[in-house]
Amino acid sequence: MEDSRYVSNSPENRKIGFLGPFGTFTEEAASKIKGELIAFDSIFEILEAVNNKEADFGVVPIENSIEGSVGLTLDLLAHDYDLAINREIVIPISHNILVNEGTGIEDIEVIYSHGQALSQCRKFIQKLAVKTRATSSTAAAAEFIQGRKNTAAIGTKRAAEIYGLKIIAEDIQDYKNNLTRFIVLGQKDHSRTGFDKTSIVFFLYEDRPGGLYEILGEFAKRDLNLTKIESRPSKEKLGSYIFFLDFEGHRSDKKIENVLNMIRSKTHYVKILGSYPIEGDD
C-beta atoms surrounding 48 within 10 Å: 18
- Give domain status of residue 282, yes or no: no
- Give domain status of residue 236, yes or no: yes
Contact 114, 136 (CB under 8 A): yes
> If pLDDT is split at 50, 70 and 90, which confidence band does 189 have?
very high
Chain segment 55-93, per-residue pLDDT in tens: 999 999 999 888 888 999 999 999 999 999 999 999 999
The verdict on 149 and 250 lying in the same domain is no
* More confident site: 239 or 255: 255
The verdict on 47 and 122 lying in the same domain is no
The verdict on 31 and 135 lying in the same domain is no
Least confident of 148-157, 206-215, 238-247, 270-279: 206-215
The verdict on 48 and 182 lying in the same domain is yes
- Give domain status of residue 76, yes or no: yes
Least confident of 87-101, 130-144, 198-212, 254-268: 198-212
Chain segment 219-238, per-residue pLDDT in tens: 998 999 999 999 988 777 77
> If pLDDT is split at 50, 70 and 90, which confidence band does 272 have?
very high
The reported pLDDT for the residue numbered 3 is: 39
- Give domain status of residue 3, yes or no: no
Query: What does the DSSP 8-state code read for residue 6?
Result: G
Q: Which domain holds residue 51?
A: 8-92+178-186
The reported pLDDT for the residue numbered 268 is: 82
Is 1's pLDDT higher than 50? no
Is 9's pLDDT higher than 50? no
Average pLDDT over residues 110-118: 94
> If pLDDT is split at 50, 70 and 90, which confidence band does 12 have?
low
Number of domains the chain contains: 3
The verdict on 80 and 182 lying in the same domain is yes
> If pLDDT is split at 50, 70 and 90, which confidence band does 6 have?
very low
C-beta atoms surrounding 258 within 10 Å: 14
- Give domain status of residue 65, yes or no: yes
Least confident of 19-28, 41-50, 97-106: 19-28
Average pLDDT over residues 207-229: 85
Question: Which residues are part of the catalytic machinery?
Answer: 180, 182
> If pLDDT is split at 50, 70 and 90, which confidence band does 45 have?
very high
- Give domain status of residue 84, yes or no: yes
Single residue among 186, 215, 232 that ends a domain in this structure: 186
The reported pLDDT for the residue numbered 46 is: 96
pTM for the structure as a whole:
0.85
Provide the residue type at 129 as one letter.
A
The verdict on 126 and 201 lying in the same domain is no
Is 167's pLDDT higher than 90? yes
The reported pLDDT for the residue numbered 153 is: 97
The verdict on 36 and 22 lying in the same domain is yes
Single residue among 153, 186, 219 that ends a domain in this structure: 186
CB-based burial of residue 102 (10 Å sphere; 0-12 exposed, 13-18 middle, 19+ buried)? Answer: exposed
For residue 57, what is the domain's CATH number?
A: 3.40.190.10
Is 194's pLDDT higher than 80? yes
Average pLDDT over residues 93-121: 94
The verdict on 210 and 226 lying in the same domain is yes
- Give domain status of residue 1, yes or no: no
Average pLDDT over residues 135-164: 94
C-beta atoms surrounding 115 within 10 Å: 12
Q: At what angle do helices 211-221 and 254-266 cross, to 10 degrees?
A: 160
Contacts of 219 (CB under 8 A, 6+ apart): 225, 226, 247, 259
The reported pLDDT for the residue numbered 212 is: 84
The reported pLDDT for the residue numbered 282 is: 36
Share above pLDDT 90 across residues of the chain, in percent, rounded to a whole number: 72
The reported pLDDT for the residue numbered 280 is: 59
